[in-house]
Every structure is written in structure tokens, then in C-alpha cells.
Amino acid sequence: MDELRKKTLVGSFWMMIERFGYLTIQFVSNLVLARLLMPEDFGTIGIMMVFITLSNIFIDSGFSASLIQKKDITEEDKSTVFFTNLLLAVAVYLFIFVFSPLIAGYFHNEALRTLLRVLGVVLLIDAFCAIQNTILTREMNFKLLTKIKLGAIVVAASVAIYLAYQGLGIWALIVQYILYSTIRTITTWIVAKWRPIKVFNRNSFKTLFSFGSKLLLSTFVAELYVNLQQILIGRFYKPADLGYYSQARQFQQIPTGTISHVINSVAFPAYAKLQNDRAALRILFRQNVRMVTFINTPLMVLLAVIAQPLIIFLYSSKWIGSIGYFQFLCIGFGIFLAVHQCSLSVLKAVGRSDYVLKLEIIKKLLGIVFIIVGMSIWGIWGILYALALNSFLEIFLNGYYLNKELQYSGLNQLLDMLPSIAISMISGAAAYLVWSRLLPPGNNFVLVLVGSIIFGACYLLCSWIFRLYGFEVLKAGFRKVISKLKR
């Protein structure tokens, strides 16, 4: 347990560096590109990424999670998955190539015909390093993964900015995606020791696919639900409207996605190692829920509070149309999202991919109904209302199966989350009153800075007074660092 905890902490450190480093570079490049390109360009790339994301899920087919979850894997297991991924990637790319004219016609955007065929190449490139990434994740070698990904994004983002300055428009974004995948794949092959052997074992395929197929369906349904908003907005509204929505969604997911990715990338293999000790697993999971909420919730509330001056300062006034979407996504959707991912990781780790599949089908079918009804009444805002309602209900749906496995229900999760949520709301109200009522308008940077300082001071003070779990963990870690520096 101590060795696993040490690996988990070290892995979390490197995953945090990788995720924050990657998103910082991507965020900075996106700021520059958002000023050089138009909302229509981001709307078009948003439509294409729907198909790329869903295709990658189908190509993976749950095999990555299967290799991580399985206690003992052989070289035949690895090679079988490698060649399966390659064959699926070729098949999916050919499908996209053939049907791209129909996709362009559906979205009333003729440019998609060529753009999607070019961007689809990333599916073939990514398939070549999927197993190496899975093996490094299983071994919790996040340090190497961090170096590879950060190096690739630095080069790709730099080239994209240069091309945008040269007036290449949306092609700058497409080159960025392709170049990132290419550099990451080549680097992984150079530094990773594993190489496939010429074998395809049917028994390995059946065993791994038995577990992974359920995750394939559940993940595919989940991503289809997430991207359904993009599909509907892209079909019935202007590309600029999708650009505003996509930018708001992407900005909102930076903190949530980072926290969720870091925690779950490290926690999933740690959960899997504790799958036979449910008491220890429940303790670790509950700690993660409280820690995720302690970090994610204040970020969501703060971003919603300072959204107006922040977006104008960062993206310029041409992105004002995304402010309302961004605020609602932070409060109504982003607060619970990271915890949902933790819940699904636990169920996968204990081998209950059937629960994950059932959950995703139930939740996403409900979500689709909510979205269709909401959009028919309130338009784009109806989609946002549907996301918020479904996100709240997920706590109790996930909790039903978590209670079966760990005796930790949705109500238990909500009770563990409430202290951070309440303190975040109080801090948000204080910060909003200061920057919106007491400070003169005009200098957006000052408004953001003062609002953030007031919020942070209020949140930390209340966390100290009420002794929140996350604050106690950070305080203990800070004391250890100080004591080491004094030696």
C-alpha cells in the first residue's frame, strides 16, 4: 500500500506537470489564434473534432483500459491489440474519406469535404503509438509521457501560430493537430522499448474485448452525448454560433479536464491494484472525491464570476458572445464533471464495465431527451439547461452502483462535496460584489486580478476555519516541503 501510494503521488506530480503544461501551451496558442482567426474557423474545426473523437474511441475499442485492468498481460496481448488498432484505424479513415461529402452537405459547409479528409490522417498516426502509451500508463511512467507530450505540443503550437500569421486560416489549426500526433508518435517509438511481434492471438482478442467492448459502448455513448451539442448547433445554427459555444466549452474544460485527467490517469491503475480490498479502495476514492471538489469547485465558481472581464481581456471583444455560455457551463455543468469521472474509474477498476455501460446508456439517453426538449423550447440555452440537469442526476445514478461495490452512495458523495461548494459560492459572491460594484470599469486586467485575490483569500480563510480535507492535505504537504528546505 505504501509503495502504491508513493507511485500514485509521484505519478500525480508528473501528470499535473504534463496536463497543466500541455493546457498552458495550448491555452496560450489558442489565445493568439483566437485573435488571428474568426469564430467561424473554430466552429468548423469543432464539427470535425466530433468525428475525430468518436473515431478514436471506436479504434481503441476499450483495449487500453483492458490492458491496464488485466493483472498479467503477455506480449501476445500487446501485439494483438496493436494490430487490431491499426486495422480499425484504416477502416475508420476510409469511412470518413468516402462519406465526407455527405457530412459536408449535412452541415451546409462544403469546406468540410476536404478539411475532414486531411484531418482524418491523425487517426492513422495515433494508432501507431496507442499501445506504447498504454504500457507506459500501466507502468505509471508518467514522467516519460509528460516529456513526450509537452515537446510535441510546443512544436505544433509554434508552427500553428506562424501559419496563422501567414494568413492560412483554419489550415493552421489542422496542421497543429497533425503535427502534434506525428511528433508524439515518432518520439514514442524512439524512446519506448516495446516493439510488436508478428502475432495475432484470438484468445487474447476475445479476453480483452470481453472487458473492453462494454467500455467501448459506454465511452462511445458518452462522447456522442457530449458532442451531440456540437452536431445540433452546427446543423441548425451559424458556424459563428458554434464557434462561441465551442470556445466557451473548451475554456471551461481546461481546469475541469485537467483535474479529472490527472486524478483519473493516476487513480485508475491505483484503484485497479486495490480492487480486492474494497475497504482501502473506498477510503482512497472518498479522499479523491473530496480533493477533486476542493480544487475544481472554486475554479469553476471563480471563472464564472470574473468571466466578462477575463474573456474580453484574453480573447478580445469579438468573443463576447461566448461569455454567457461559459458562465453557465462552469456552474451548472463543470462543478460535478470531475467527480463523475472518478466514479466511473472506480467501477472500471473493479472490473464492472457492465455497470459503466448501463450507466452511460441510461444517463445519455436521458440527456438526449433533455437536450432535444430543451433545444426545441429555448434553443442553444436549452442544451445548457439539459447538461446541468443531467449532470446533477449523474451523482445519484453513479452512486447507485458505487453503493453496491463500495457502500458509498450518491448522497454520500454529495455530502462530501457540499462544504467546498458552499464555501466557493460565498467566496464568489464576495468577489463579484467587489469587482462589479466597487471598482471602476475599463481595466479588465485589474478587475480579474482583484476579483481573483478576493475570491482566493476568502476561500482559503473559510477552508482553514472549517478545516476542509483538501486544505489539510495541502497544508501538510506544504509543511513537509518547508521542513525539507530547512534541513
- Provide DSSP, 305-349: HTHHHHHHHHH-GGGGGGHHHHHHIIIIIIHHHHHHHHHHHHHHH
- Given pLDDT bands bounded at 50, 70 and 90, which one contains residue 285? confident
Other beta carbons within 10 Å of 210: 12
Is pLDDT at 263 greater than 80 in this prediction? no
Q: Do residues 161 and 32 make contact, with C-beta atoms less than 8 angstroms apart?
A: yes
Q: What is the DSSP letter of 197?
A: -
User: For the residues 57-75, what does the mean pLDDT come to?
Assistant: 70
Give the pLDDT score at 308.
92
Distance CA 307, CA 325 (A): 10
Element (H, E) at 409: none
- Given pLDDT bands bounded at 50, 70 and 90, which one contains residue 108? confident
Q: Do residues 142 and 16 make contact, with C-beta atoms less than 8 angstroms apart?
A: no
Give the pLDDT score at 359.
86
Q: What is the DSSP letter of 431?
A: H
Q: Tell me the CB-side half-sphere exposure of residue 2, using CA atoms within 13 A.
A: 0
Other beta carbons within 10 Å of 381: 14
For the chain, how many residues are written?
487
Distance CA 337, CA 351 (A): 22
> Between the ranges 281-285, 312-316, 462-466, where is the mean pLDDT highest?
462-466
User: For the residues 239-243, what does the mean pLDDT come to?
Assistant: 81
- Given pLDDT bands bounded at 50, 70 and 90, which one contains residue 212? low
Q: What is the mean pLDDT of the chain?
A: 83
Cell reading at 444: 479588465
Distances (CA, A) of 47 to 116, 140, 249: 9, 34, 13
Distance CA 360, CA 350 (A): 17
- Provide DSSP, 97-157: HHHHHHHHHHTT-TTHHHHHHHHTHHHHHHHTTHHHHHHHHHTT-HHHHHHHHHHHHHHHH
Distance CA 315, CA 192 (A): 39
Give the pLDDT score at 12.
59
Q: Which of 53, 51, 47, 168 is nearest to 108 (CA)?
A: 47
Task: Please state, for a pLDDT cut of 90, what percent of the chain lies above it.
Answer: 25
Give the pLDDT score at 458.
95
Is pLDDT at 232 greater than 70 in this prediction? yes
Give the pLDDT score at 11.
57
Digit-coded pLDDT (tens) for 343-402:
888 888 887 878 887 887 888 889 889 988 998 899 889 989 998 999 999 999 999 999
* Cell 490517469 sits on residue: 265
User: For the residues 330-340, what does the mean pLDDT come to?
Assistant: 87
Other beta carbons within 10 Å of 459: 25
Which residue has better confidence, 94 or 242?
94
Give the pLDDT score at 69.
64
Digit-coded pLDDT (tens) for 398-441:
999 999 888 899 999 999 999 999 999 999 999 998 878 877 77
Q: What is the DSSP letter of 445?
A: H
Give the pLDDT score at 14.
63
Cell reading at 45: 474545426
Is pLDDT at 487 greater than 70 in this prediction? no
